[in-house]
Chains A and B, each alone.
Chain A
């Protein structure tokens, strides 16, 4: 046991409070009381927030009773771990009936419930309580005995109040700081979308256009890229734009042209029959399989890949990926997600995810990825999705999707600028997240200091806590409890 400051005593909770004092005597049946079911206590703030009022007769049976100034402590998982621990205040007629899943701690001898509450809300206290929970899975509870025996460093009464005031002044600031930081993730998302919107209106590259020789976008009919081993002579005709698609388009700057995906890229997927007939997953295969889950809302995601052996799928070379292709999820929850296959890596294109291989002289995959991740670009992509409950995209729909293209050089400039900005804001967001975690640790460190007596100076004129304990013991008279003669030492 570490050194406690002058005037302090290391007490058991049982020495300074009654745990579960039992039913309240002498209440008339029609007295109004507060009713506090578990949902009425906020775990974030550790407060009773939404109590209702009921006549005592209605709630006197089957609920735990407690009084103004008691500390209630949720015993059941996960309420306890989450922090449903509160000081009962502003109770109707000073009395409440609440969930039986609360232990009730009634401070004795004018010990401050606010002090005790702050002590019990510490992460360390809760962790200790969690470690001793008993009971069946889903019904685990903290035994009352643990609470009774838990050690509480007890300062003199006036110092208890000074500590509470000081803690509140400090945590007021940390709470406000954390509150500010919590606004940031949402704002970062909005920021990224706003940047994408500006990018595809041509605003990010306006100065670049003015300073360099801008080339207008090339616009050529679709043809399968040279060098593909399955160059077929058949040319797919891209469907005309639908009214929905047209209404989703916007004016780009001079030199930018609207095209359709099918006119600037080769679009394909693994056909159903191909999958059924030829694709057998094989854990020792040499080729990783790309599925819909690899294209997340923010781009390419590594997963535990299924594998196939390259020999077994040798004839499906339309589905061989070599890196740099654009992926589009066309069915299921992730419909509309786009991602780029990592450069120079081999994969096999699996089910539910389409592949777009742009003509390098017309469009770049990264540009298309960002275009279809922007809000308006995504709307264009999904404009033709047929099912309402489960949106899906046909290859024809993907091919017909309009896309606004600047010259290939400007596409590179656009993506480079976006990447630079995003990496800046991501750094900021990550710093904010780290700061948030640090604030949590800071608060716990403040508490730890407070309960070691190092936050607030001691006043030698305060009546020592040992005297207070003696007084409490005397008032209780000869205690009926078995465990007297415990370790509580009085420091003088």
Chain B
């Protein structure tokens, strides 16, 4: 019997065959999602969730064009299934496979998988590998749903998720943060074996929650969680709508909200938003959601672009509110060029929800990992070592309480008192090192990296102008966008 590693290797090579046939990484990983799901239900004895005429076995044993036709019909009908999980996976499902031989190759390989050992021995890695390749493929635009692995792992190591905690990602993407948190907990608990059954059940079914807006991405997110033994938890919702109010309150929130303004300049529609009810800036709105979604004493790590730190008016009100309700103890300024989405300047905010609603932040520690860094990109990828100095400075307390030392004006790690920040009008875009961004860009050599830098600048310029427009004439952005949409 072939081992999982052999099968996984075959599935990888099949990916390349299909790529030559015009099937993108995105389409391939989606195709795998449908098939793996059906196989999983068979292996775990839960095929009763499917209509009777659609089973893995029946699909796998058909041949040629008949198999493709059956497969197509199956995808169409399962999208309307009554079972929530099934319909989530198969909503608007379509296949890109045209050659019967390719479908057959996929089904016969997957048929040989032993589901449980496959999950442990690399199927999850295969899936995540495909997701990563998909993100790196700039044309797919999937980059915006993917946070680089090294950054996620660094954040999880610092935040130290614990068994029994509710972990939320309100912009879950393909579940990168949730899977990483789960992996960390499993490492601490010998794969959940050290936990009593009730707690292990909690970890598998209730610990991880969140929301994802885009159906295609949601599908991949669910599958990624399933491959790691986690069922459900992430809803297909717009967190900035009233559905977001209903998400379970969390002990830990890890997230990277999508970049850019809400299309059409729309406002969040939640009734519980007070600070950001009137803005079209999505990231500001997500920060408000996160603060409200934290339990007392709950902690969060959030990736946000620079404008959240310096934007005036609503941005400033949000930051003041954030520093009142939470202890914003650490800001990490990230280097440019590390995201698959094109060149945005980003930061990680680390904060803990206080018992009271006032004056919880007394000092903010800032680590500048942006100035004087190499130009990250294809030729110089991000590594674990790049975060080592920051992790040491951060210390072993997830809430920033470990002993820390300001290393001075020439170092990357400094402390700023609340008073000092008030004197800056609560602007948190704090930099003190001479910025050699121009030099970092000079060092780029690959066309893709340079094009990404160009597009990053264009997007950033556009966002400034949009913000400016909105400040001059708050309704003009909506009107302009509505006209543009009507014209499409």
Contact = CB atoms under 8 A, between A and B. Distances in A.
Interface stretch (B71-79, B405-413, B444-452): B444-452
Given A169-B471, A432-B458, A195 B447 contact: yes
B465 A174 contact: yes
A181 B447 contact: no
A184 B444 contact: no
Contacts of A173: 464-465, 467-468, 471
Given A174-B464, A194-B446, A187 B453 contact: yes
B454 interface: yes
B336 to A, nearest CB: 11
Given A173-B467, A190-B444, A180 B453 contact: no
B461 interface: yes
Interface string B429-444: 0000000001001101
B165 interface: no
Question: Which applies to chain B's interface (DSSP): helix, strand, loop or mixed?
Answer: helix
Contacts of B457: 180-181, 183-184, 187
Interface string A451-478: 0000100000000000000000000000
Nearest to A170: B468
Contact of B461 (A180, A188, A190, A455): A180
Nearest to B444: A190
Interface in A133-181: 169-170, 172-174, 176-178, 180-181
Contacts, number: 74
A447 to B, nearest CB: 12
A198 B468 contact: no
Contact of B454 (A195, A198, A428, A455): A428
Contacts of B438: 183
A435 interface: yes
A439 interface: yes
Contacts of B238: none
A409 B453 CA distance: 33
Contacts of B458: 180-181, 184, 428, 432
Contact of A446 (B444, B445, B447, B472): B472
Contact count band on B: 20 to 34
B461 A435 contact: yes
Contacts of B447: 191, 194-195, 198
Chain A interface size, under 10 / 10 to 19 / 20 to 34 / 35 or more: 20 to 34
Contacts of A186: 441
A170 B471 contact: yes
Contacts of A176: 460-461, 464
Nearest to A176: B464
B312 interface: yes
Interface in B134-173: none
Nearest to B455: A428
Contacts of B467: 173
Contacts of B442: 190
Interface string A421-456: 000010010001001000100100010000000010
A187 B450 contact: yes
A179 to B, nearest CB: 8
6 residue pairs, one from A and one from B, having the closest CB atoms? A177-B464, A180-B461, A177-B461, A173-B468, A180-B457, A194-B447
21 contacts: A170-B468, A172-B312, A173-B467, A176-B464, A177-B464, A180-B464, A181-B457, A183-B438, A184-B457, A184-B458, A187-B450, A187-B457, A190-B442, A191-B447, A191-B450, A194-B446, A194-B447, A197-B445, A198-B447, A425-B451, A455-B472
Interface of B: 312-313, 438, 441-442, 444-447, 450-451, 453-454, 457-458, 460-462, 464-465, 467-468, 471-472
Given A183-B438, A183-B453, A184-B458, 20 more contacts: A169-B312, A172-B312, A173-B468, A177-B460, A177-B464, A180-B457, A181-B461, A184-B457, A190-B442, A190-B444, A190-B450, A191-B451, A194-B446, A195-B447, A425-B451, A432-B458, A432-B461, A435-B461, A446-B472, A455-B472
